[in-house]
Amino acid sequence: MNIHQQTLPDGGRAKTKDYEKRRNLGSAGKLIGEQRILCVFVDDDGSSPWTLDIRSTVQDHVQRSLRWLEGQAANRGIELRIQHALAPNGMSVGCHAGCHINEIDECAGPHHSGWQNTVVVRITGYGKVSEGWAAMFTSHGLSLDASDGSAMLFFVRRLVPSIAFPYKAGEHDEFELERGIIYDLGGVIDGQRHLDSLIAHELLHLYGAVDLKPGKAPSGVSPELCLDPDEVMNFPTQHEITGYRINELTEYLIGWRDADPVVK
């Protein structure tokens, strides 16, 4: 298998029937102002451990992704500054989840909070992601005091579809603190070539964006909004981040415009 050329879809598990349900909610509410993203590198029983070299290739993609999002905002006259940090720091490169992280046995979704809590306990001493949220950010140099929003991305060394868990009304309060999982082997040879685009796609999910592809978009999204292969929420992401666009529905869902373009 030539995984260097493989780009994976995200499996559609973030799909919702109502594209409004998660708009501007949770810790990753509107993608404006001062935002903080913490990238947590996780080892597990099913993967080779992260190394500094491999982690640095992923950080390059994170940088490109965040700078692209800031540039897209600036082009629209929107102030956006995204600070990010990598965790864990110090001597450790990855934090072990204490288990095998599995996307195959229907354990996607809130079930992931178990190993995520383990990781947070090992890094901060707090018992849950929700309890240790601020400590995770501040202990890695990101103060949340002046931030308008925050999100956590867990990076796991495996090539399966990545997934985002945007908060929506009616969910347990724990998930107001929004997180996603980026699966990637890392490295120049083994990682996904367009990881920068995938990271932007999953982050935009956390800020309210929905998949824009015929048959995958939530009900109520007009089909003509799903036809642009270069819209970053059309997936799978197939090329480098600089070739992508953000359309008016994504703008609306992430808080960059007030009027819903679907409802005229």
The yes or no reply on residue 211 touching Zn ion (CB under 5 A) is yes
**From the CB of 138, what's the least distance to Zn ion, in Å?**
30
- CB nearer Zn ion, residue 148 or residue 211: 211
User: 3-class SS at 156?
Assistant: strand
With contacts defined by CB under 5 A, name the span among 34-42, 57-65, 71-79, 203-211 that binds Zn ion: 203-211
Question: Does residue 88 have a cis peptide bond before it, meaning omega lies within 30 degrees of 0?
Answer: yes
With contacts defined by CB under 5 A, name the span among 9-17, 84-92, 121-129, 178-186 that binds Zn ion: 9-17
Angle formed by the axes of helices 52-75 and 195-206, nearest 10°: 60
**From the CB of 237, what's the least distance to Zn ion, in Å?**
9
With contacts defined by CB under 5 A, name the span among 5-13, 89-97, 192-200, 248-256 that binds Zn ion: 5-13
The yes or no reply on residue 10 touching Zn ion (CB under 5 A) is yes
With contacts defined by CB under 5 A, name the span among 56-64, 115-123, 128-136, 210-218 that binds Zn ion: 210-218
Q: What is the DSSP letter of 71?
A: H
User: 3-class SS at 162?
Assistant: coil
The yes or no reply on residue 184 touching Zn ion (CB under 5 A) is no
CA–CA distance, 99 with 97 (Å, rounded to integer):
5
- CB nearer Zn ion, residue 44 or residue 231: 231
* 17 touches 131 (CB < 8 A): no
Structure tokens at 132: 């240790």
CA–CA distance, 60 with 56 (Å, rounded to integer):
6
- CB nearer Zn ion, residue 148 or residue 196: 196
**From the CB of 70, what's the least distance to Zn ion, in Å?**
21
Q: What are phi and psi of 180, to 5 degrees?
A: -135, 170
Residues forming the site for Zn ion (CB under 5 A): 10, 211
